Amino acid sequence: MITPDQERDVSLLTLGRVINALVEHSPHVPYRDSKLTRILRDSLGGKTKTCIIATISPSAYCMEETLSTLDYASRAKSIKNKPEANQKVSKVVLLKDLYMEIDRMKEDIRAAREKNGVYISHERFAKEEAEKKVIYLFSISS
């Protein structure tokens, strides 16, 4: 059985791996490896402003822990978030989006029934490709 101290140590180790992955722009960030990193997912490398407070001790007795904390803080400082304001969505717009999603799903089901595998309609494929191009062009222009 894992003790609370061991669970805390695993969470902090995973937090260190997540921080390293974000700093190094790794394609895989192990957010799911601990409860702590799952909770902090949006705050670490997400779309929020994040403030990290590193609590250290001037005591020589705590030197190793202080150095470890300062190392975490130094690496975490290198993470670049892209904060965005939340958009307020009216009920009408939300319902319209949900109905459009339902229609897309119905198209997917119909396309899947017509074929032997899972396919999407040509119209939806073209639309999604156009959306990807717009997002790509927007990201490189920012």
What value does the mean pLDDT of the chain take?
A: 85
Q: What is the domain partition of the chain in residue ranges? A: 4-77, 91-141
Q: What's the pLDDT tens digit per position in 56-93?
A: 999 999 999 999 899 989 998 888 888 887 778 888 88
pLDDT of residue 108: 77
Whether pLDDT at 139 is above 80: no
Both tokens of 128, joined, read: 């999604």
> Is 50 within 8 Å of 36 (Cβ atoms)?
no
Query: What own/partner pairs with CB < 8 Å and gap ≥ 24 does 36-39 have?
Result: 36/11, 36/12, 37/11
Note the pLDDT of residue 130. 86
Higher-confidence residue of 127 and 19: namely 19
Tell me the pTM: 0.55
Share of the chain above pLDDT 70, in %: 94
Give me the pLDDT at residue 63, please: 94
First to last CA, the chain: 50
Please state which CATH class domain 4-77 belongs to: mainly alpha
**Per-residue model confidence as pLDDT tens digits over 30-63:** 988 888 988 988 888 888 888 889 999 999 999 9
Confidence of residue 118 (pLDDT cuts 50, 70, 90): low
Q: Where are the alpha helices (DSSP H) in the chain?
A: 4-23, 35-39, 63-77, 91-114, 122-141
Q: What is the pLDDT of residue 135?
A: 80
pLDDT value of position 66? 94
d(CA 52, CA 42): 14
pLDDT at 116: 59
What distance in Å separates the CA atoms of residue 109 and residue 121, rounded to the nearest whole number? 10
**Distance (Å, whole) CA 60 – CA 118:** 63
